[in-house]
Amino acid sequence: MRWLAARDMHIWADFKPSDRFFFMSDMGWMVGAMCACIPSYFGGSLLVAEGTPDYPDTGRFWRLMQDYKVSYLGVAPTLIRSLMRYGDEEVERYDLASLRITCSGGEAWTEAPWLWFFKHACKERGPILNIVGGTEVGGGNFTGTLHHPLRPGSFGARGLGAGVDIVNDDGQPVGPEQVGELVLRNPNIGFTKSLWQDDERYLDSYWRTIPGVWVHGDFAMRDDDGLFYILGRSDDTIKVCGKRTGPAEIETLLTGTGKVSEAAVIGVTDEVKGSAIVCVCVPMPGLAADAALQAKLSQAFVHGMGSSYRPKQVLLVGNLPKTRNMKIMRRVVRAVYRGDSPGDLSSLVNPEAVTELQGKLAG
């Protein structure tokens, strides 16, 4: 697995011996293997920093990049959304001229944080190479490269030798601008061979959903120019009035207002629409978490998606539940909203966010 990730970063994403790599993340994620292998395989250097990116002060992340002349940065979109909250002036204080390339992964981007990071950190010159793979794959499924155009959240190419495809429920490839399931058609040396003491669950989860292909669990799309997009986990899909939508498409509308730094959109049962939308949002600092803000966010939905998408409820919270690799846990948000058990929370970095959400709903 380790050499697959290293190979991908070198061939696709132009990692060089002169680069200094910095990806501030939990080492238990696949990023831990990337940090250990990529610089050593190709003769680069690695910056490792303990703690959090915004303590003891909100400029710590940018200061580390400046002081240690980071040239090759790894980020998760959630990290950028959280740093956006401290304002443009925080990042502008630091000299980030050493930054050559940024690779990003972990979850789907929304447009507002991508553009913010591209403008203020990359200075509109350093590429953001979006990469998506999986711990259970050991390599990449889609990636950005230096040879493809950039659009917020896009990928330019398929994974090397993986047989990546986007298909419908019958396993047939879908055309441009159509949403489908991300699958891999070729066996991969990086595949996990099973789940611990549960071969049947492994087969059910990955190989039997659509016979003959590996189903990764993400919805994806290819645009008319041949660029690829990940739209979110397929089990997070929302179907309103017969139209299937990924949460990322809707969350983009919310973060695009400039009034929230993060959002989690879930679908809940509705007798008329089939599913209705609930939004859980983190307001930008200094904004009152009041009914006026809720109304503005609701209106952004209607303006962007149509009146049928008017949310059933907009909740304003201080934080969203996230894993240690900074993925928003929409599954947990959905379970708490429905009054179900949120399940195992041991992977959460901030379990207090679940308690806050439960309190909001109880109130």
User: Each residue's pLDDT tens digit in the chain (363 positions)?
Assistant: 455 566 777 777 889 999 999 998 877 667 777 888 888 888 999 999 988 899 999 999 999 999 999 999 999 888 898 899 899 999 999 999 999 999 998 777 888 899 999 999 999 999 999 988 877 777 778 988 899 998 999 999 998 888 999 999 899 999 999 989 999 998 777 788 888 999 999 899 889 999 889 998 888 999 999 999 988 777 777 777 666 677 777 888 898 899 999 999 988 887 766 678 899 999 998 899 999 999 999 998 888 888 878 889 999 999 999 887 677 888 899 999 988 888 888 878 899 999 999 998 987
Check if the beta carbon of residue 217 is closer than 8 Å to that of residue 235. Answer: yes
- Is 263 within a domain? yes
12 and 127 both lie in a single domain: yes
148 and 168 both lie in a single domain: no
148 and 52 both lie in a single domain: yes
87 and 131 both lie in a single domain: yes
- Is 159 within a domain? no
6 and 139 both lie in a single domain: yes
195 and 176 both lie in a single domain: yes
Neighbours of 211 (CB within 10 A): 9
Domain end call among 232, 265, 283: 232
Neighbours of 225 (CB within 10 A): 11
Amino acid at 335: A
65 and 85 both lie in a single domain: yes
d(CA 313, CA 333): 13
Domain end call among 154, 188, 210: 154
Residue with tokens 């553009």: 115
| Residue 242: per-residue pLDDT | 62
- Is 319 within a domain? yes
Check if the beta carbon of residue 277 is closer than 8 Å to that of residue 312. Answer: yes
Phi, psi at 82, each rounded to 5°: -70, -35
Question: In whole angstroms, how far apart are CA 105 and each of 13, 29, 78, 205, 324?
Answer: 13, 11, 10, 22, 14
CATH for 191: 2.30.38.10
d(CA 21, CA 38): 8
> Which DSSP letter does residue 348 get?
B
| Residue 224: per-residue pLDDT | 94
Domain end call among 197, 232, 267: 232
Phi, psi at 221, each rounded to 5°: -155, 150
- Is 197 within a domain? yes
- Is 264 within a domain? yes
- Beta-bridge mates of residue 215: 183
Q: Which domain holds residue 200?
A: 164-232
- Is 6 within a domain? yes
325 and 221 both lie in a single domain: no
317 and 278 both lie in a single domain: yes
- Beta-bridge mates of residue 256: none
Local structure of 8: helix, strand or coil: helix
CATH for 138: 3.40.50.12780
Phi, psi at 211, each rounded to 5°: -55, 135
Check if the beta carbon of residue 5 is closer than 8 Å to that of residue 38. Answer: yes
Number of separate domains in the chain: 3
187 and 214 both lie in a single domain: yes
Roughly how many angstroms between the first and final C-alpha of the chain, as a whole number?
A: 47
| Residue 4: per-residue pLDDT | 58
185 and 116 both lie in a single domain: no
- CA dihedral sign, ordered 322, 327, 330, 331: negative
25 and 148 both lie in a single domain: yes
Check if the beta carbon of residue 6 is closer than 8 Å to that of residue 141. Answer: no
Nearest to 166 by CA among 106, 228, 104, 225: 228
d(CA 148, CA 24): 26
**Residue 173, token pair as written in the block:** 């490839």
Nearest to 330 by CA among 108, 43, 157: 108
Residues 6+ apart with CB under 8 A from 268: 275, 276, 277, 278, 312, 334, 337, 338
Nearest to 319 by CA among 276, 285, 268: 285
